[in-house]
Amino acid sequence: MRVPPVNTVSPGITATDIARKELACPGGDAMRQILRRSAAKRIAMVDDIAAPVEFLAGPAASLITGADQRAGTAHPRAGARLWLTAARSPETPSLAVRGPVSGSSGSELVDKNGWDASGDGL
């Protein structure tokens, strides 16, 4: 039996409804600062994140396993610090950081109402 490769893609700040809400709140200044400091100088679009996912899931990556491809405009840990900062403001959406996550160098984003923003709990 062939075991499929296991790879991950860690997106940075991506143009989603949640990111738009965060940019509009007082904590959005921290997010804009991260974007300005990034090499791309822009927010990642969903298609920017889909491309490495498609590659890692395709035949060209058949010998790649255990890889974590960072995609987007910021290192995931910088994004986690941003969410933590923004979550402290009462005007922000209900995202907060719970972490660090066991076995990783990052933190886990969760909604204060209990769902896991990574999608694991949905």
CB within 8 Å of 61: residues ≥ 6 apart: 5, 7, 55
Local structure of residue 29 (DSSP, 8 states): H
> What is the pLDDT, as a whole number, of residue 31?
79
Residue identified by tokens 């972490």 is 99
Q: What angle do CA 76, 103, 87 make, to 5 degrees?
A: 45
Q: Work out the pLDDT band at 32, boundaries 50, 70, 90.
A: confident
Strands 8-11 and 68-71: parallel
For the segment 61-108, what is each residue's pLDDT rounded down to a tens digit? 888 888 888 887 655 444 444 443 344 444 444 333 333 334 444 444
Residue identified by tokens 């991506």 is 14
Q: What mean pLDDT value characterizes the chain?
A: 67
Rounded CA-CA distance 51/48 in Å is 6
Rounded CA-CA distance 111/97 in Å is 8
Give the mean model confidence (pLDDT) for residues 17-22. 85
Give the mean model confidence (pLDDT) for residues 2-12. 81
